[in-house]
Chain A
Amino acid sequence: MLELVVFSTLNGLQYGVLLFLLASGLTLIFSMMGVLNFAHASFYMLGAYLGYQITRTIGYWPGLLIAPLAVGLLGAGVERFCLRLVHRHGHVAELLFTFGLAFVIEEVVVVLWGRVPLDYRVPALLDFPAFTLWDTTYPAYKLFMLVISVAIFVALLLLLTRTRVGLIIQASLTHPNMVAMLGHNVPRIFMMVFGAGAALAGLAGAIAGPALVTQPSMAALLGPILFVVVVFGGLGSLAGAFIASLIIGLVQTFAIAVNVSLNDVFLPLGISLPAPAVLGDLWNATLAQLGPVIPYLLLVLMLVFRPTGLMGTRET
């Protein structure tokens, strides 16, 4: 039992900080432009695919640097040449544009790399068990993912709170007109934040590619979870996104590990479902089976009862 708790906690934390790498960019972009970027998870997928391609031609470590930069440039380009154009037609059009972009990126990936999952391997340098507890080994690469993600989080926090650039970004979140008055190029700041957010997503993809599966559906699988994280944490709140990332990460990993159903819980108390009803499957399903449902349930409940999210300051 203790073994299960320790490893689930480690895995949950690692998945949580990875989610935060993505959610931080998404929530910053939302605070600035009011756009929920549907294509954010697609940037993550592009990071993984580019990382794979560079790993095959040059090596893993250059890929870890080049792939995020390339994705960041693409993101900046998308903001500069497309999103700014769509902005005139209002928020719905912007949302629809990013929705279409996600669709196109997935199809481009299919055309370029095919539908089959790629053989994106952990670099030899990190391909060893980091430690062994109660006969279960923990891979070094997962530890590496954890360290990198935490490092980026700390760097981002310092950048936003301790540097001039961070100050200007924070100011443009709340008072874009005033920042423009002071002589800063606000549209360029928007473009750079969008690019940086995309680059972070690309980095997350390049890191996660070898550990999770690199396949065309990886964006569609992660994208909705990402929305859950930013909405649950409160749109625009970095701290909220951090907490929500950890919660969702932990909830998902613990759910997988728990093999208990509602029936198992209530039967000892003398309560059982009368007659085999339509809901019988739900009653007998284990928590592990219900795992994928939980984040969305949390999202819907949060939006209905506390629209600002955990730490958000404004309504969605």
Chain B
Amino acid sequence: MTQSIAGTTPRHRTISPLLASVGIWLAAGLVMLLLPQVFSSGASLTKLCLMGIMVIFALAYNMLLGQTGMLSFGHAVYYGLGGFFAAHAMMIISGEKLAVPLAAVPLVGALTGLVFGVIFGAASTRRAGTAFAMISLGIVELVAALALVMTGFFGGEQGVSFNRTKALALFGWKFGPQIQVYYLIAGWCFVSMIAMYFITRTPFGRMCLAVRENPERAAFVGYSTQGIRFIAFCLSGAFAGIAGALAAINFEIASNSMLGAQQSGTVLLMAYIGGAGHFAGPIVGAVLITLLQSSLSDITGAWQLYFGIMFILVVMFVPGGLAGLITLHGPIARAGLLPRLAVPYAKALVPGLLLVGGGALIIELTYKLTVERAKTTVLNLGLLQLDAKTALPWIAAVILLAAGAWTLRRLGPGIAEAVAATRAEALARVGA
């Protein structure tokens, strides 16, 4: 995690950084405004809503992991509690007929996240590193176990459901149709994104980086590393609470699965695969993984396995995540040297596809033979029908996998060298 946070603009351009960043935010807002016009079906609207929620959650999480260097295994506590408190707030609003619009309900989530962030953060941010990670794990298990006992508040297995249309309607928006909920989520997402981005630009945001990179030096400069960690933790909890409240509004229910270890793991996956070292990384991760979750689960029953393997591969080979991979090519693109990488990448593509194809084939054949054995053992690939009970598909899969792995292993170092050399040359041209 050595990449800097976004916003470094190239030196050879004359656009002022402020103008550029305003432009980027305007473009992002416009895209969010127009997305439902392009993808207007009900299914894609549902996905878009989920993406918006997850973008806030992953960015909030990355205030810890990426910006302050704190690995938390239990951030769903603030997300889930935000959802539950928002749900109860909605029940009170509709029950007492309070004049509170639905758009203000996420504030309840933010406040919840903040308060619990203060409570749990006071205990856990005294430590960093592995101890912090362990405490976060302990807290999430503690809260999840308590939620099962306190059925009065958490609603037990059924959760707490409510009717989102019972709040005060402003401008005739009752938030019955999903599209109105989308704009609510998009609005909160946009505001949260900007807020979190500008937090990284404040002196406090810079000190977070210092605490991540070298806590000892940060302490010597005169800052309390524990204090910085604590503030980052509370803020992160507040934004996670907003995401949780929006999730509760979106589904009209807050349930126990929102605050468990699994939800915490998902947001970790999103932030890390997207790239924890870059501000936009978690956005990429949240969008990509939400997409994968819904589309892969339609295609194959073993989608979670692919998911896990992808995560392991990212940890092993691309520790900077997808955003890290993209920023690596930034200077190369600016120096106009991108075409030079076409040949090495094309060379890597073929064995890479073989490897992925062979691996996927083995997983799918196994899946047919075990889980779906009673239904059918024939894997339907459109043009090709493969019976998992025969030997031929298996042999083909193993050959594909082995050939891909072997070639990639042979070519890998050469390709990495070519990329590094091109990057060095590009840096020399652009930077000098």
By a beta-carbon cutoff of 8 Å, the part of chain A in contact with chain B is 34, 36, 82, 85-86, 89, 91-93, 95-97, 99-101, 103-104, 107-108, 110-114, 220, 224, 227-228, 231, 278-282, 285, 289-290, 292-293, 296-297, 299-300, 303-304, 307, 315-316
User: With an 8 A cutoff between CB atoms, is B197 at the interface?
Assistant: no
Q: A114-B371, A307-B131 are in contact. Are A97 and B305 (CB under 8 A)?
A: no
- Chain B CB within 10 Å, residue with most, of A279, A297, A300: A300
Residues on B with beta carbons closer than 8 Å to the beta carbon of A89: 315, 319
Residues on A with beta carbons closer than 8 Å to the beta carbon of B315: 86, 89, 93, 96-97, 100
What's the minimum C-beta distance from A108 to chain B, rounded to whole angstroms? 7
Residues on A with beta carbons closer than 8 Å to the beta carbon of B319: 89, 93
Residues on B with beta carbons closer than 8 Å to the beta carbon of A303: 124, 127, 131, 134-135, 138
Residues on A with beta carbons closer than 8 Å to the beta carbon of B272: 96
Q: Which of A279, A296, A316 contacts B130 (CB 8 A)?
A: A316
Q: In the bound complex, do residue B137 and residue A281 qualify as a contact, i.e. CB atoms below 8 Å apart?
A: no
Q: In the bound complex, do residue A104 and residue B130 qualify as a contact, i.e. CB atoms below 8 Å apart?
A: no
Residues on A with beta carbons closer than 8 Å to the beta carbon of B302: 107, 110-111
What's the minimum C-beta distance from B405 to chain A, rounded to whole angstroms? 12
A-B contact pairs, 18 of them (CB 8 A): A36-B130, A36-B133, A91-B129, A95-B71, A101-B312, A103-B307, A278-B150, A281-B149, A282-B146, A285-B149, A296-B138, A296-B139, A300-B139, A303-B131, A303-B135, A304-B124, A304-B135, A315-B127
Q: In the bound complex, do residue A107 and residue B312 qualify as a contact, i.e. CB atoms below 8 Å apart?
A: no
Docked CA distance A227–B131 (Å): 11
Docked CA distance A107–B309 (Å): 10
Q: In the bound complex, do residue A103 and residue B149 qualify as a contact, i.e. CB atoms below 8 Å apart?
A: no
Q: In the bound complex, do residue A282 and residue B312 qualify as a contact, i.e. CB atoms below 8 Å apart?
A: no
Interface size for B (C-beta < 8 A) is 46
Docked CA distance A229–B208 (Å): 32
What's the minimum C-beta distance from A280 to chain B, rounded to whole angstroms? 6
User: With an 8 A cutoff between CB atoms, is B30 at the interface?
Assistant: no
Q: Which of B135, B151, B316 contacts A97 (CB 8 A)?
A: B316
Docked CA distance A247–B71 (Å): 28
Which residue of the partner chain A has the closest CB to B143? A296
Residues on A with beta carbons closer than 8 Å to the beta carbon of B305: 104, 107-108, 110-111
How many A-B pairs have beta carbons closer than 8 Å: the answer is 133
Q: In the bound complex, do residue A100 and residue B308 qualify as a contact, i.e. CB atoms below 8 Å apart?
A: yes
Binds A, one of B38-46, B157-165, B326-334, B362-370: B362-370
Q: Shortest 7 CB-CB distances between A and B: which pairs? A: A316-B131, A107-B305, A104-B308, A296-B142, A299-B138, A103-B308, A100-B312
Q: In the bound complex, do residue B261 and residue A220 qualify as a contact, i.e. CB atoms below 8 Å apart?
A: yes
User: With an 8 A cutoff between CB atoms, is B4 at the interface?
Assistant: no
Q: In the bound complex, do residue A86 and residue B142 qualify as a contact, i.e. CB atoms below 8 Å apart?
A: no
Q: In the bound complex, do residue A36 and residue B308 qualify as a contact, i.e. CB atoms below 8 Å apart?
A: no
What's the minimum C-beta distance from B226 to chain A, rounded to whole angstroms? 13
Docked CA distance A282–B312 (Å): 40
User: With an 8 A cutoff between CB atoms, is B123 at the interface?
Assistant: yes
Residues on B with beta carbons closer than 8 Å to the beta carbon of A91: 129-130
Which residue of the partner chain B has the closest CB to A230? B134
Docked CA distance A34–B141 (Å): 23
Which residue of the partner chain B has the closest CB to A96? B315
Q: In the bound complex, do residue A292 and residue B145 qualify as a contact, i.e. CB atoms below 8 Å apart?
A: yes
Docked CA distance A92–B150 (Å): 34
Residues on A with beta carbons closer than 8 Å to the beta carbon of B134: 36, 227, 231, 299, 303, 316
Docked CA distance A7–B153 (Å): 35
Which residue of the partner chain A has the closest CB to B130? A316
Residues on B with beta carbons closer than 8 Å to the beta carbon of A85: 316
Which residue of the partner chain B has the closest CB to A34? B130
- Taking CB atoms and an 8 Å cut-off, the chain B residues in 308-323 that contact chain A are 308-309, 311-312, 315-316, 319
Which residue of the partner chain A has the closest CB to B260? A220
Residues on A with beta carbons closer than 8 Å to the beta carbon of B151: 281
Q: In the bound complex, do residue A282 and residue B149 qualify as a contact, i.e. CB atoms below 8 Å apart?
A: yes
What's the minimum C-beta distance from A237 to chain B, rounded to whole angstroms? 15
Docked CA distance A86–B272 (Å): 15
What's the minimum C-beta distance from B208 to chain A, rounded to whole angstroms? 16
Which residue of the partner chain B has the closest CB to A38? B73
- Taking CB atoms and an 8 Å cut-off, the chain B residues in 54-74 that contact chain A are 69, 71, 73
Known pairs A110-B371, A281-B150, A316-B130 / 7 extra A-B pairs, C-beta < 8 Å: A100-B311, A100-B315, A278-B152, A296-B138, A296-B139, A299-B135, A300-B138
Residues on B with beta carbons closer than 8 Å to the beta carbon of A112: 366, 370
